[in-house]
Amino acid sequence: MALEVLMPRQGQSVESCIIIEWKVAEGDAVTAGQALCEVETDKATFEVEAPEAGTVLGIFYPADADVEVLKVIAAIGAPGEDISAMRPADAAPAAPAPAPKAEEPAKPAAAPAPSVQPQVSSSTGAAYDIIIIGAGPGGYEMAERAGHKGLKVLLIEKKYLGGVCLNWGCIPTKTLLNSAKHYVHAKEAPEFGVTTGEVKFDLAKTMAWKQDVIETLRGGVAAMMKKNKVEVLYGEAKLIGSRKVEVAGTVYEGDNVVIATGGSPFVPPIPGADQPHVMTSKEILSVESMPKSLAVIGGGVIGVEFASFFSSLGVKVDVIEMLDEIIPFMDNGQAAAFRKALKGKVNFNLGCRVTAIDGHDVKFVTKSGEEKSINADIVLMSVGRSPNLSGMGFEEAGLDFDRRGIKTDDQQRTNLPNVFAIGDVTGKSQLAHSATRMGEVALNTILGKKDRFRTNAIPWAVYSMPEIAGCGMTEEQATEAGHKVDSKTLPLIMSGRFLAENGKKGPGQVKVVIDADTRAILGVHAFGAYSSEFIWGVAAMIESGLRVEDAQEIVFPHPTVGEVIRSTMFQF
Ligand SMILES: Cc1cc2nc3c(=O)[nH]c(=O)nc-3n(C[C@H](O)[C@H](O)[C@H](O)COP(=O)(O)OP(=O)(O)OC[C@H]3O[C@@H](n4cnc5c(N)ncnc54)[C@H](O)[C@@H]3O)c2cc1C
């Protein structure tokens, strides 16, 4: 007798699931346990398997259908069995028996293209549902999600999959910082009862490991594109209209075009900045010998991470920052405490403006007008990043942008119909996870699902030693925004795990900022080991609009460093 295949229940709160893709067709013979279709909830993706071997007699809902759990989605049995009683009332009508195939007209030969052959698939007759320019975390993650939904996607990349983040940003810097952390831990090991021999740092091996990590992850992205049927085209893309993109003389058409071209280091016109030992974050990632001294121009996230890396390896490091404090979005008090933690390792020159780089001398003027200079083997220029906007036909296409980036609304739409922009090129938030989220918002908008890019709870982290992380408003920002603010701070050393792993001198603290009237959590800011790992939980609290009392009811695992957030909530 024919068997019903039910939409499985996935947890108590899930009432329905979306069928992403059928992996079999009516009439196919299947084995027990064979995947019949791929299904997703808002929490997970999974496969529905054949309960036993047989023939697929009926598929009752098409791909993309949102089906209640425990409804019959298919029937399996012996050929010829009657399954009409199994068909749910709201199921798609039964497909008529296939008509004999008419002879297909001969197709014209496809135009030659660099590496992919466009095929007509979309609703407007364009070759692709979405064309994405740029394969950074904005572009490739969006391509993956869109491919997963069954859309036909073309991802165009001029250099490497993974963009800046994977090749010259997040990943290589964190790999280097981790090696430096091992070095520091090995040197401090005797404090924790472990005797080591001479501890040495091997720059060449570290760089080789960094390259290995990059290439492994790049391979992972390529595999992900393949799995989700995303076509990848290597070449430099140019926008030539609302729905058209040109690469090496071939025009590709899509229902939607997404610009995810990222950003590049900004080098200000300081005399002497064009010397070979003056590097940006890109070149310094490939230094072949350890400098004795480093001058970092710019005390933002990138400057502080490199300052931390080199200083922990014994390099003399000076940071020269024009503003009165490092990392502009950091809580002011914590920034000062963080600088204190690096005392003797990094020399911070705040409120100082660099005027020239004369050979190896970096010349600058202090706040009081005094002229000073610092001699350094290498100078790192890390004063910010600019969106990649030129040479891509944006102006000719009529795209609205300025030097900060392409202008977009909350759904990542630009002024041109069906053209979206995501990630660093928008200038909205220069973080990999922001780029990814913007891509998700753009995809949902394309799919007609309500979504918007919210900026109130984007966590950020600096992977220095000690780490820094934050989410939501600082006390200064909350006050400026008109909140009646209350805040509490606790040291991380309150955590048993923190003390055990970092010793009694381990620096770090957590500060919680709330609205004193509503008790809503407005922000949490921290520095110290593991800050980057626990800060996402704060994003969940702020996104959910939790008050202090709600957060007090959340159970944290013990012993963890993140527990200090919970303890701080009980200080109000
Ligand atoms: C040193 C450093 C460390 C960083 N660390 C972190 C971190 O720890 N965490 C974090 O969140 N962020 C970090 N960032 C920032 C992060 O790298 C960016 O926010 C992120 O890469 C932006 O992603 P995106 O997709 O917008 O663009 P990108 O990653 O910049 O990718 C854009 C892609 O578009 C391609 N492209 C450009 N023009 C064209 C064209 N015409 N045709 C085809 N392809 C094109 C480029 O080759 C590139 O691959 C760091 C950045 C740097 C420089």
The rounded average pLDDT for each run of 10 residues, N- to C-terminus, in the chain (572 residues) is 80 75 92 85 75 89 87 90 86 57 36 40 73 98 97 97 98 98 96 95 98 97 97 97 93 97 97 98 97 98 98 98 95 95 96 98 97 98 97 96 97 97 97 98 97 96 97 97 98 97 94 98 97 97 97 97 98 98
Both 467 and 510 in a single domain? yes
Residue 114 lies in a domain: no
- In the prediction, which pLDDT does 226 show? 97
d(CA 535, CA 526): 8
User: Which residue's alpha carbon is nearest to atom 21 within ligand 1?
Assistant: 165
State the CATH number of the domain containing residue 61.
2.40.50.100
Both 260 and 394 in a single domain? yes
Q: Which domain holds residue 504?
A: 460-569
Both 179 and 73 in a single domain? no
d(CA 411, CA 424): 15
Nearest-CA neighbor of 63 among 24, 89, 90?
24
Taking the CA of residue 174 as reference, the ligand 1 atom at the shortest distance is: 8
Both 363 and 299 in a single domain? yes
Both 299 and 434 in a single domain? no
- In the prediction, which pLDDT does 92 show? 79
- In the prediction, which pLDDT does 116 show? 47
**Cα of 165 to ligand 1 centre, how many Å?**
5
**Cα of 261 to ligand 1 centre, how many Å?**
8
- In the prediction, which pLDDT does 104 show? 36
User: Which residue's alpha carbon is nearest to atom 6 within ligand 1?
Assistant: 170
- In the prediction, which pLDDT does 14 show? 65
Number of domains in the chain: 4
Both 356 and 408 in a single domain? no
- DSSP E strand boundaries for 312-425: 316-321, 346-350, 353-358, 361-365, 371-375, 378-381, 385-387, 401-402, 405-406, 419-421
Taking the CA of residue 163 as reference, the ligand 1 atom at the shortest distance is: 49
State the CATH number of the domain containing residue 565.
3.30.390.30
Taking the CA of residue 236 as reference, the ligand 1 atom at the shortest distance is: 42
Residue 517 lies in a domain: yes
State the CATH number of the domain containing residue 379.
3.50.50.60
* Ligand 1, CB cutoff 6 Å, lining residues: 133-139, 156-159, 163-165, 168-170, 173, 236-237, 260-263, 281, 302, 388, 392, 423-425, 430-433, 435, 463
**Cα of 210 to ligand 1 centre, how many Å?**
17
Sequence-distant (≥ 6) Cβ neighbours of residue 362 within 8 angstroms:
295, 297, 318, 320, 354, 373, 374, 375, 376, 379
Could you list the active site residues?
558
pTM: 0.81
